[in-house]
């Protein structure tokens, strides 16, 4: 007969511990890939390693048994979102949303969308929603990168001579 966990039983605690350790491993994989790979020109200059390190420390604390911190968790979601990463993969290990997201950006999906233009049915409603989501994602990314752009601009002006005044 199977043992059912009772109050005070550590079985569910062990399961939570394993889940948190798995999330930590998956975030390490995501952070390493984002910091080492060339995603596009300029990626390495704007990737905020400090943010990733902060979330890594947070997930390490969670894996050691520390509690949930809502603000940090929401900032982690924002970090994943603006970097195009799957929250489902991080928290449950389910990579299917990543596969679907990549398929959405495929050339086949582009052809399907091109053929469907002007058709007023549920698909064109989805395209409108998709367009609104893309606009929101772009705005979020601009807001997220705001401080990084300012730092990059300030760094590029260091060492340049100033215009002489008469």
Domain residue ranges of the chain, discontinuous segments joined by +: 14-93, 105-145
Task: Read off the pLDDT of each residue in 112-123 and give the average, rounded to a whole number.
Answer: 66
Q: Is the pLDDT of residue 57 over 50?
A: yes
**Cα 41 to Cα 82: distance, rounded to the nearest angstrom:** 17
Better-predicted residue by pLDDT, 87 or 116? 87
Task: Read off the pLDDT of each residue in 137-157 and give the average, rounded to a whole number.
Answer: 64
Which of 21-25, 44-48, 55-59 has the weakest average pLDDT? Answer: 44-48
Is 29:98 a contact under the CB 8 Å cutoff? no
Residue 4: which pLDDT band, with cuts at 50, 70 and 90? very low
Instruction: Compute the radius of gyration of the chain from its Cα atoms.
Output: 22
Per-residue confidence (pLDDT) for residue 123, from 0 to 100: 58
Task: Read off the pLDDT of each residue in 137-154 and give the average, rounded to a whole number.
Answer: 66
Per-residue confidence (pLDDT) for residue 107, from 0 to 100: 83
Is 16:58 a contact under the CB 8 Å cutoff? no
């Amino acid at each position: 007969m199977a043992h059912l966990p009772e109050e005070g039983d550590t079985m569910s605690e062990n399961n939570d511990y394993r889940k948190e350790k798995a999330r930590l491993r998956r975030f390490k994989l995501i952070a390493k890939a984002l910091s080492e790979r060339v995603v596009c020109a300029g990626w390495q200059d704007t990737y905020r390693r400090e943010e990733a390190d902060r979330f890594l420390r947070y997930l390490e604390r969670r894996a050691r048994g520390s509690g949930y911190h809502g603000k940090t968790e929401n900032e982690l979601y924002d970090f994943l979102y603006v970097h195009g990463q799957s929250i489902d993969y991080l928290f449950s290990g389910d990579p299917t949303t990543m596969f679907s997201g990549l398929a959405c950006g495929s050339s086949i999906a582009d052809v399907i969308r091109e053929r469907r233009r002007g058709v007023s049915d549920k698909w064109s409603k989805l395209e409108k929603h998709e367009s609104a989501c893309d606009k929101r994602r772009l705005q979020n990314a601009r807001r997220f990168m705001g401080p990084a752009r300012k730092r990059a601009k300030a760094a590029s002006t260091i060492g340049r001579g100033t215009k002489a005044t008469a």
